Structure formats: structure tokens, C-alpha cells
Amino acid sequence: MSGAKSLNLRAGFYTEDHEAYRASMREFVRREVEPHYLAWEEARLVPRDAWLAAGEVGALGLSVPDEFGGSGESDFRYPMVVAEELAKVGATSYCLSIRLQDDIVLPYFLELCRDDQKQRWLPGMASGELIAAIAMTEPGAGSDLRGIRTSAVRDGDGWVLNGQKTFITNGINADVVIVFARTDPGAGSHGFTLFVVERDVAGFTRGRKLDKVGIAGQDTAELFFSDVRLGPENVLGEVGEGMIHLLQRLPKERLSLAAQALASAEAALRWTQDYVFERTAFGQRVGDLQATRFELADLATEVDVSRAYLQNAVIALNEGTLTTAEASKAKLWSTEMQVRVTSRCLQLFGGYGYMNEYPIARAYRDCRVQTIYGGTSQIMKEIIGRDIAERYSSYGQ
């Protein structure tokens, strides 16, 4: 119909406050990220100045309460805005680093810390002065965390921690690391505890900065713990409840990864649309070729339909009703969609898509890990499948 407006999926989802925040984030990205990002990729590390800049403009620690230096804002739409604005300039490594701290690590500190622990760690996490990580994966234990070997043994009123972790995001930069350790081998799922290990504690060392296929600027590392002595003030949450603490916070982690996937896929599609309608072949714009239009139609549909589900999941998260299965669906679909869309977008760039000077090439490398970390696609399918099966657990009985 002539003059009809296209469906605006963001209408009614983002408010004026979100859009005002977006304007400030766009300026922050233009000023502090875009001019420096490629240098960070070459150095394979995001510098601390970039963390401090994020804290200064409120891209970090938004959900930290006012008394600890944050804004006390828990609405997940704000982190989505940050992810979208960083995706537009292809700053995947930086986005992953700060979103790991805010969306994945920070909830543990906000919800499990005692008052003295909050005062100790939250102000620095809000300002960017403290960089955080969470260490779960080990060389022999990834998706099955019950197989970890890192252990903490009681010693008086404290603990002695020993073990090794790998693939740890922010591992080189981290000032505080949440470590998942076995504390009672005979207690099953109640035999694990979370500890906070600080940068300078004796016995805590970092291995190599791992050389990855993509997200080069994000520091991923091996961590080693040799007779690390920790006091009771370094226990996070309840002793023996570490596994429960993890499971309770996985939905938000997976939704964060899904949001990053969607933002990155949207950016890749936008770059591709701009490219094919600027470049000519066979006497016409590449975007006017039927084969190209059909491909763009498929890609735009995948991205838009993905946004519709994700937005509903975000609303559920804000309301406290998002289930593990629903978050797993968001993570499974969005990350697999990101890989499909980015790969097909690169194809439309032709040979230029394989050149690192084009953001689509970097996005192609960066996206592949999205279906692996935070729970592989196969694990997401298992979680969703179990949820379906449980509905029929009493069928026929």
C-alpha cells in the first residue's frame, strides 16, 4: 500500500529515556571507542582507560545501587542499547568485555554479597577501576561443571584453593575473579562453593593470553591457583550452594549473549545493505539483482523475527519470570542466526568481504564462538528438550 509505514519492532519497547541513553552511548562510542578499537584488536587487549571511560558515562555498573556509585537501574533494555551501539562499529571484543562484567558477573556481587563485600567491590566495578571475571571452565570440564577438579579445602576459618581454569574472559585484566570450586566431594550438587579471588593474592597466577580465532581484543586466559589462602570474607554466597547460585543466574547470562548476537547480526545486515546498493555489477546496483534481493529478504526476516522473540524474553527478565528454557531458546536461536546471517552477508561482499579492513570480515571471525561459550548450542537443545519432556513426565501413568 502506497505510503504505508514499515513495522517498527522497537516502537513500544524502547522509551524516550532509553533513546536519550542511546544518544549518550552513541557519542561515547564515536569519541572513545571507534577511533581506538582497531589498535586494541592489534594489541589483543582492551586498555584500562577504556574501562574507566565506560564507567564515567554509565556504560558500566548501571544496576549498581546509588550508594555504591551506580544508578540502581536494573532494566535490561539499557544494556541492549550499549550492545547495539557498539555493534554498529564492530567493537565486538570491547562489548563482550564490559557486558561480561555487567550482565554476567555483576549479578553475583549484587545478589550474593554481604554489605561489607558490596562496599569492598561494587564501587570499583561501577567506575571501571575494578575489572571482573568468572572462572568456571577447566581443561577437562566445560559444559559439565560437575566434573571440575579445582577444589577448596577448609583450613581453620578459611580455605585453601587449588586448581586450574581456562577460556576465562577478562582473565588477564581481571582484578577480581569469581572461582567455582569443589568443597565437598561427597555432597553432589551441594558440594560446590563460589570464591572471590583478588589480583594480588599469593598463589594466584595467570597463564598465557590465549590466541583465538576471533574477538582478538578481548583477553581470554588460563588461570592457576596454587595453595591460595582465602578467608571467610572471600566466600561468595553460601558454602555448598555454588552450583545453585550458578544455575539461578544462567538465564540472564544467556540472554546477554543473545542480545549481543542480535545486535551484531543487525549491524552486519546494515553494512551489507549499504554495500550492495553502492556497488554495481552487470550495469546495475548489486542490490537490484534478484538473487541479492532474495538473499536480503531472507536475512532481514531472520533478524526481525529474532528481535520479536528476544524483546519478549527481555520483558520477562525485567519482570522476573524468564525461565531457563526460554533463555536457552533465545541463546540458541539468536547465536545460530548470527552465524548464518554474518556468513551470508560476507558472501554478498564478494572478495572484499574476506579483507580484514572491512568490518564484515572481523564480524565473521568474531561470531563463531557465540554458539560455543555460555553453553553450546547442543547444551541449549538439551535444556529445551528436557523442559519439553518434563511436561510429559506423568503421561500414561
CATH code of residue 257: 1.20.140.10
Cell numbers linked to 298: 531472507
End residue of a domain, out of 130, 146, 169: 130
Q: How does residue 394 score in pLDDT terms, banded at 50, 70 and 90?
A: low
Q: Is residue 73 part of a domain?
A: yes
> Tens digits of per-residue pLDDT, 240-273?
999 999 999 999 999 999 999 999 999 999 999 9
Say whether both 249 and 362 belong to one domain.
yes
Q: How many domains does the chain fold into? A: 3
Active-site residue list: 253
Domain range for residue 293?
Answer: 244-390
- Last residue of one domain, picked from the residues 70, 100, 130: 130
The string of pLDDT tens digits covering residues 70-123 is 999 999 999 999 999 999 999 999 999 999 999 999 999 999 999 999 999 999
The reply to whether 140 and 188 lie within a common domain is yes
- Residue at 11 is within a domain: no
Quickly tell me which residue has 589498535 as its cell: 39
Kindly report the pTM of this predicted structure.
Answer: 0.94
User: Does residue 125 share a domain with residue 56?
Assistant: yes
Cα–Cα distance for residue pair 336/328, rounded to 1 Å: 12
Question: For the chain, percent helix, then strand, then coil, each to nearest 5?
Answer: 55, 15, 30
- 102 and 174 both lie in a single domain: no
**Greatest pairwise CA separation for the chain in angstroms:** 80
Which DSSP symbol is given to 105?
A: I
Q: How confident is the model at residue 384 (pLDDT cuts 50, 70, 90)?
A: very high
Same domain, 342 and 253: yes
Query: pLDDT tens digit string along 269-322?
Result: 999 999 999 999 999 999 999 999 999 999 999 999 999 999 999 999 999 999
The pLDDT, as a whole number, for residue 3 is 47
User: Does residue 395 lie within any of the structural domains?
Assistant: no
Q: In whole angstroms, what is the distance from residue 182 CA to residue 197 CA?
A: 15
- Residues 6 or more apart whose CB falls under 8 angstroms from that of 391 comprise none
Please tell me whether residues 230 and 262 are part of one structural domain. no
